[in-house]
Structure 1
Amino acid sequence: MHVIQVNGTLYCHYEQKVRPYIDLIDSLRSLGVDQDLPLPSIAVIGDQSSGKSSVLEALSGVSLPRGSGIVTRCPLELKMKKIRAGEPWKGKLKYRDNEMDLNEPHSVEQEIVKAQNIMAGTGSSISSELISLKIESSEVPDLTLIDLPGIARVAVGNQPKDIGERIKGLIQTFIKKQETINLVVVPSNVDIATTEALKMAKEFDPTGQRTLGILTKPDLIDKGNEENIVDIVRNLVIELKKGYMIVKCRGQQDIKKKLSLEEAIQNERVFFEQHSYFSPLLDDMKATIPLLAEKLTNELVEHISESLPSLQKQIEVKLQETNTELKKYGKPVPEEDEEKLTFLVELQSYYDIISSIIKGEEKSQDQESKIFNQVREKFENWKRCLDSISLNLEVGDLDMKNSIKKNRGKELPGFINYSTFEKFMKEHIEKAEAPSIQLLFAICLIEDILKKESHEAEKMLYSQFNMERIIFSQDVIYSKVLSTLKSKPRLPQDADVSVMKDHLNTYFEIASDRLANQIPLIILYHTVNQFGTELQKQILQLIQGDKNVNELLSENKDVAEKRNRLSKRLERLSEAQEQLNKFSV
C-alpha cells in the first residue's frame, strides 16, 4: 500500500532508524510524562467537514467516527506500527482505566464511539481526556498522530452554546507547544485563507516553522480554480515551512458503495495521474496518501531527533525540582494502628532517655543502652549505605567507557579526563543525599515534634552535600589512599576505565569517611543537644494528653496527596530519564 516496503534488509534498516524514535516517545507518553513536560507530537486539526477523518482513515486503514457535526469529541492518540507482511492485524484501545484488544479493523469505529460517550457523554459535548488507539499492520506507516475535534463555528442542535470556544481552547493546549507539529487539514473547495484551522495554526506558529498543510477533496474544486490550488500546494500563496500536500480520500458515496481503502488508494493515484493540473504534483512528491504517510513519518522522526537533547535536559531539571519539593514533605506517618502504637512506645523510650540527659539523672544502663543502640543501629545502616554506593563504582564499565570516549580530548590512554571524573563522582555522592535525609527523619520519629530543629538539621545536611560536590581532598591524604588502592590485586580491564576507577574509588573512600561521621554528628547535635528541653516538654504533652493515637499521628490530607503526586511524578520521570539514557547510548 505505502511506498516503504517491509521485507528484507530495507525493512531491518527501517526498523533500526525509524521505529525506535517513535517507540521512545510513545513509551514516554504511556508513562504519563506529557503531564509534566511537552513531548514531540503531530496534532491534526481542521474545520468541521474538512475531510480530517477521511485522511486519518486512509493512513490507518480503519474506519473512524464520521458524520455531520462533531464526530471527534475527545483527543484521539492514533499510534500506527508497521509490521512485516503476513503478520496478523492487531488493535488496542485504551481510555481511563479501560483497555481492550481489537482483532478486526471494522470494530474500531464502534468502540471509539463507546469510549467518547463514556468520557464526553452521549450528547454533542467534548472532553479533554485522551483515547489511545494502537494499530499494528503491514498496511500502515510508522507514525503517531493526535486527532483533535473539528472546529465548529456556531453551535447547532443540542450542542453547548460555547462549543466553538471550548474546542478552540482544547486545540490550543496542543498546538501552542513548540514540540508540536501542526497538521492542518483544509478542503480544496473553500478559500484557504478563511479556514479557522489555518488561522489558529498561524496564531501559534506565525512563521509556519512547524505547520504542514493538507488539502483534501480535489475532485470538488470549481472548474477553472485548479491552477490556484496547485499554487497553494507549491507553497506560493500562504507560505508554510513544511509546505503542503494534496490527497483524495473516500467520499460518502464511496463508503456507501463499500469501496475498500486499498481501492480508494488506487483510485486516488489514477485521479492525480489523469488530471493535467495535478499530475506534476506526483513528481514533486506532493500528492497521494502513501507519499503523505512517508513525509509524516520522516517529519516526526526528524522532529523527535532534534527535540531529544532539550527533552533530556528538561527531564533532568524537572527531576531535581521534584526531588527537592518532595523532601519538604518528609516521610509519611504510619497508617496501621499497630505501627502507630509502636511509634509511641519508641517515643516514650526516647522521652525517658532525653529526660535523664537533661536533668543529669542517672538512668539504668540497660535503658540508656537500649535507646542508643537503636540510634547506633541506624547510623550503622547509614555506613552500610555508603559502602553499597562504593561497591556500585565497580559496575557500569560500558557507561564509563562511553563517557570517557565521548569527552576525551588529547589525553593518551591511562590519563583521566577531569570532567568525566567529576561527573561520575558527583553522581555517586548525590546517591547518598536522599538516604541521609531519611536517616534524619528516622531518628526524629515524628516530624512535627522536631519541626524547627529537624529543619535546621536538614539544611545542614544539604549544605554538607553541596560542599561535597565541590570535590576536594588534601593532596597528602589523597596520594596515600590512592597508593594503597593501587597496591591491591585487580582483574585486567580497559586502561582508561581502570585508571578512572582508581581515582573514583580513592576519592569516594575519602568522602565516605567524612560523611560516615559528619552526618550522624549533624543529626545528634540537633535532635539531642539543641532540642532536648523542648522535645521533653512536647513528648510529655503528647503522652500524657487525652488525644488518641490516630489524632496524634494523623497528617493533613492535602499534604499526603501532594506527597503522593510528587512521588508518582518522581517515579515516571526517573523511568523516562533511564529510557532516554539507554536510547542515547
Structure 2
Amino acid sequence: MEKIIYSQGGLYSRQLEAAKLTPNANPFGKAINADIREMTHHLKAYFTITSDRLANQVPLILLYHMMEQYLVNVKTAMLGMIRHKDAGSFIQEKSDIAKKREYLLKRMERLRKARQVLAKSPTMLEDISHLSQHYEEKVRPCIDLVDSLRSLGVEQDLALPAIAVIGDQSSGKSSVLEALSGVALPRGTGIVTRCPLVLKLKRVKKGTPWYGIISYQSHIKVELKNPAEVGDAVAKAQNALAGQGKGISHEMINLEIRSTNVPDLTLIDLPGIARVATGNQSQDIEEQIKKLIETFIKKQETINLVVVPANVDIATTEALKMAKTVDPNGQRTLGILTKPDLVDKGAEDNVVSTLNNLVIPLKKGYMMVKCRGQLDINDNLSLTKALEKERRFFGNHTHFRIFLDEGKASIPHLSERLTKELVSHINRSLPQLEKQIKEKLEKTSTELRMLGDGVPQDVTERDNFLIEKISSFNQVLTDIVSAEEDVGDTDTRVFTKIRREFSNWKTELNNKATQLQEHLRDEVEEYTRIHRGKELPGFVNYKTFQNIVRRHVEDLEEPAMNLLQTTTDIIRIAVNKTTSSFFEAYPNLMRAAKDPLEDLREQEYERAEERLRSQFKMEKIVYSQDGIYSRQLEAAKSRPEYSDTFWKRSSKVINADVRETAHHLNAYFTITSDRLANQVPLILLYHMMEQYLVNVKTAMLGMIRHKDAGSFIQEKSDIAKKREYLLKRMERLRKARQVLAKSVPSA
C-alpha cells in the first residue's frame, strides 16, 4: 500500500511547509536548480509522513498478528486439547522426569547399582539394545527429523546429515550392515549393492512386533512381514531400478526396519567399488561407481564410514583413497576394520597400529568388527549367535582384547558409536540446514514469480489470461511513453536515455555555432570576393548570406539522421526486452507479436526520416519573424566576442560588409539552432515513441480477436516443466521448514 503515493492534504501541506523552513534545506552545498530544490522539499515532506506512519504501523501489525492473535489462538488450541480423544495420553510423563523424581526419593542409588551390574555382565541382546530410555528420547527426535526431511525429497535441494557406508568389493560392507540391522541383505559375488540403499533402523519397545517397509520410484511401497523377506525385496527393487544385469543406478531405495533389536540409526549403503568389469558389465563400471559414491561422500554434511578388511594394506584400498580425496584431514571419516579372524599370525601389530590411528590417521579413528562369514551362513548361524561369537573372539584375542574394553571393537559398540556420531552431526548441521532452506525458498519464490502462474485450462479463463497478458504488456508501453516505467535499481528509463542523446544533439548544434564563428570571416570574405555586386561596403549581400546559411544547415542533417537511428535503437531494445519478459514463455505469441513490432517500427522510422528531411529542406528557406530576428541581430552586435578585437586576426583591414554579414549570420544561426534543438527531438518523440508505441498497443489488442488467439498462449514445454518442478520444490521446502519448526531435538 505504501507504493500508493497518498497523504491527507492538510497533513502534507504542514510537512511541506516545515521542510521548506528547515535550516539545512540545501544539503548539496552548492547552487542547485529550482526544480531540484522543490523536489527535495516534497520528498522530505512525504518521507517524513511515511516514516512516522511506518514507525508505528509496522510494530502494530507485528504485535497484533505475532503476539495478540498468535498467542490467543495458541491458548484456544491448547484449551481444545482438553476435549481431544487422546487427552489422557497427553500427560504421560517423560521417563527422565520419572527417574529424576525417583532420584529425589533416594531410589537412584539402587538403580545406579543395578545399571552397573548390567554393564559388567550384559547379554548379547542387551548389547544391541544398549541405549537407555532417557538417551533414546534424545536420539530419536534427531534421527526422525532428518528421516522426515529425507522422505519429503528435500535431498534434491539441499544436503542432509547422513552416514554413507563405502568399501571395496568384498570388503565385508554388507555384513556390517547386516549385523547392525539384524536382517540378511543380498549377498553374492561381484557387485551386490547396485543402488544407494537408505537403511532406517528404529528401535521400538519390547513386545512390539518386527516391521519392515521398502519403497522406491516414489510410488512403490512394499510392507515386509518378517526379516527373511528383506533380501529378496531389496534384490527386486535393485532389478527394477538398475536392470537385471550388474549395472548400477543413482535412484535410491528406502528400507525401514522397526525392531526391538536394532539401534536408532540411519545409514546409506553405497555400491562396492569394483576394479574390473565382469560378464555383461559396462567397461567403465568402476568409474560409474566412483562417481555415484562421490556424489554422497563429497558433501560436508556426510560422515563417511569406510569399511576395510583388516587383513589387507589399508593404503591400497580405493574406498579409503576416495574418502581421503574429499576429506583430506579425515574430519568426517570413520574407518571400520572387518575380517579380523583372517589376519595372518605375526601381522596383528599392523592392525593394532591402524586401530590406534597411527597408519593413516582419521579424526574419528577406527573400529573393528567381526561379522558372519560364508561358513557361518552355510551353517545357518543366527545374527544373535554371531554376536556372541564375536564377543568371544575379541574377549579371547591376545592383541584385540584391549579394543573391546576400550569400546573400539564389536558390533554393539559400533552401533552405539554411530548413533552418537549421527546425532551429534545432526545437531551441528541444523542451523546451517535452516539457513539453506530459507535461502532456497527465497530463490525458488523469485523464479516462480518470473515464470508466472501458467495458462489456465478453462476456455473463458484462457481468453481472460491472454487479455490480461496483452493489457499488462500495453501498460508497460504506456509507462514508457509517459516515462514512468519501473526499471529497478540497475536500469535506466527509456526517456532518460533518449534525453541524454537529445542533450548530445544540442551539444552538436553548439559546436556548429562555434565553428561558424571561427571560420566566419574567411567564409564571408570568400563569398564577397566571388559574388559581390554593386553593394557598397556595409550592405549585406543576400545571396552570400543565404548560401552560407544553407551550407551550414546542410551539415546538420546527417547528425540529425544519426540521432534518429540512436533513438530508434534505444526504443527497439526496450520494446524487445519488454516483449521477451512478457511473451518468452509463449513462442506462438512471441512470433505473432514480432511482425507488428518490426513493421510498425520501420513504418514510423520512414515517416520520421521523411519528416526530418522535410524539416531540413524548410530550413533552406531563410526566414524569421522580423521582431525575433531584430532582437537576435541586436544581441549579436552587442556581444563582446564581436568587438573590434575579434577581427584583429590579421594585419589587413576588415571590410564593413564582412563585419555586417557576420553579425547577420550569427543572429540567424542562433535562431535556427534553437529551433532545431527542439524540433528534431519533437519529431523523433512523436513518431518513434508516441505513434509507434500507440500503434503497437493497438496491434497487440487486435491479437485478442485473432482466429488463432487460443494458440498464442501455448507455453513452452520447458517453461511448464520448470514451473512444475519449482512448485514441487517450493512445497518440499515449505514442509521441510514446518518439520524443522516443530522438531527441536537436543543432544
| TM-score after normalising by structure 2 | 0.53
- Name the residue aligned to 1:197: 319
Shift of 1:60: 0.3
Matched, 1:214 2:374: no
The amino acid across from 2:704 in the alignment is I
1:194-231 Cα distance to aligned partner (Å, 9 max, x none): 11111111111111111000000011110111121112
CA distance in 1, matches of 2:313, 2:286: 20
CA distance in 2, matches of 1:203, 1:255: 36
Superposed, 1:90-489 pairs within 5 Å as: 90-96=211-217, 97-341=219-463, 343=465
- Name the residue aligned to 2:139: 18
SS at match of 1:18: helix
CA distance in 2, matches of 1:349, 1:225: 83
The amino acid across from 2:737 in the alignment is Q
CA distance in 2, matches of 1:347, 1:21: 48
Superposed, 1:462-541 pairs within 5 Å as: 533=694, 536-541=697-702
Matched, 1:581 2:741: yes
Among 109, 115, 127, the residue aligned to 1:3: 127
Gap change, CA 1:190 and 1:340, over 3 Å in 2:
same
Q: Is the 8 A contact 1:32 1:572 kept in 2?
A: yes
**How many residue pairs end up in the alignment?**
416
Among 21, 45, 52, the residue aligned to 2:173: 52
- Name the residue aligned to 2:198: 77
Identity over aligned residues, as a percent?
A: 58
Among 40, 61, 66, the residue aligned to 2:182: 61
Matched, 1:561 2:721: yes
CA distance in 1, matches of 2:469, 2:286: 61
Shift of 1:573: 0.8
Shift of 1:554: 1.5
Q: Is the 8 A contact 1:2 1:290 kept in 2?
A: no
Q: Is the 8 A contact 2:130 2:416 kept in 1?
A: no
CA distance in 1, matches of 2:691, 2:419: 64
SS at match of 1:69: coil
SS at match of 1:213: strand
- Name the residue aligned to 1:546: 707
1:389-410 Cα distance to aligned partner (Å, 9 max, x none): xxxxxxxxxxxxxxxxxxxxxx
CA distance in 2, matches of 1:255, 1:283: 28
Gap change, CA 1:312 and 1:543, over 3 Å in 2:
closer
Gap change, CA 1:315 and 1:272, over 3 Å in 2:
same
The amino acid across from 1:152 in the alignment is A
Q: Is the 8 A contact 1:95 1:131 kept in 2?
A: yes
CA distance in 2, matches of 1:192, 1:201: 12
CA distance in 2, matches of 1:304, 1:42: 10
Shift of 1:532: 9.4
Shift of 1:544: 3.4
Shift of 1:535: 7.5
1:149-183 Cα distance to aligned partner (Å, 9 max, x none): 00011112222110011111110111111111000
SS at match of 2:266: strand
Q: Is the 8 A contact 2:703 2:709 kept in 1?
A: no
CA distance in 2, matches of 1:99, 1:63: 19
Gap change, CA 1:14 and 1:344, over 3 Å in 2:
same
CA distance in 1, matches of 2:450, 2:461: 23
SS at match of 1:44: strand
Q: Is the 8 A contact 1:330 1:447 kept in 2?
A: no
Gap change, CA 1:282 and 1:328, over 3 Å in 2:
same
Shift of 1:445: 13
Matched, 1:89 2:210: yes
Which of 1 and 2 has greater Rg?
A: 2
CA distance in 1, matches of 2:148, 2:741: 14
- Name the residue aligned to 2:156: 35
1:316-354 Cα distance to aligned partner (Å, 9 max, x none): 111111111111011111123343246568899999xxx
Q: Is the 8 A contact 1:6 1:138 kept in 2?
A: no
Gap change, CA 1:542 and 1:176, over 3 Å in 2:
same
Shift of 1:531: 12
SS at match of 1:3: helix
CA distance in 1, matches of 2:286, 2:159: 25
Give the structure with the larger helix fraction. Answer: 2
The amino acid across from 1:563 in the alignment is R
Gap change, CA 1:116 and 1:350, over 3 Å in 2:
closer
Gap change, CA 1:189 and 1:445, over 3 Å in 2:
closer
| TM-score after normalising by structure 1 | 0.67
SS at match of 1:80: strand
- Name the residue aligned to 1:495: none
RMSD: 3.0
The amino acid across from 2:174 in the alignment is S
Gaps of at least 5 residues in structure 1 are 352-443, 452-528
CA distance in 2, matches of 1:213, 1:193: 12
The amino acid across from 2:406 in the alignment is D
Gap change, CA 1:36 and 1:278, over 3 Å in 2:
same
Gaps of at least 5 residues in structure 2 are 1-124, 474-581, 594-689
Q: Is the 8 A contact 1:94 1:100 kept in 2?
A: yes
The amino acid across from 2:265 in the alignment is L
Q: Is the 8 A contact 1:6 1:84 kept in 2?
A: no
Q: Is the 8 A contact 2:130 2:412 kept in 1?
A: no
Shift of 1:583: 2.2
Gap change, CA 1:67 and 1:447, over 3 Å in 2:
closer
SS at match of 2:451: coil
1:456-504 Cα distance to aligned partner (Å, 9 max, x none): xxxxxxxxxxxxxxxxxxxxxxxxxxxxxxxxxxxxxxxxxxxxxxxxx
Gap change, CA 1:530 and 1:74, over 3 Å in 2:
farther
- Name the residue aligned to 1:456: none
Q: Is the 8 A contact 1:215 1:246 kept in 2?
A: yes
The 4+ residue runs of structure 1 with deviation greater than 6 A are 344-351, 444-451, 529-532
Gap change, CA 1:91 and 1:345, over 3 Å in 2:
same
Gap change, CA 1:41 and 1:530, over 3 Å in 2:
farther
- Name the residue aligned to 2:608: none
Gap change, CA 1:193 and 1:335, over 3 Å in 2:
same
CA distance in 2, matches of 1:530, 1:302: 69
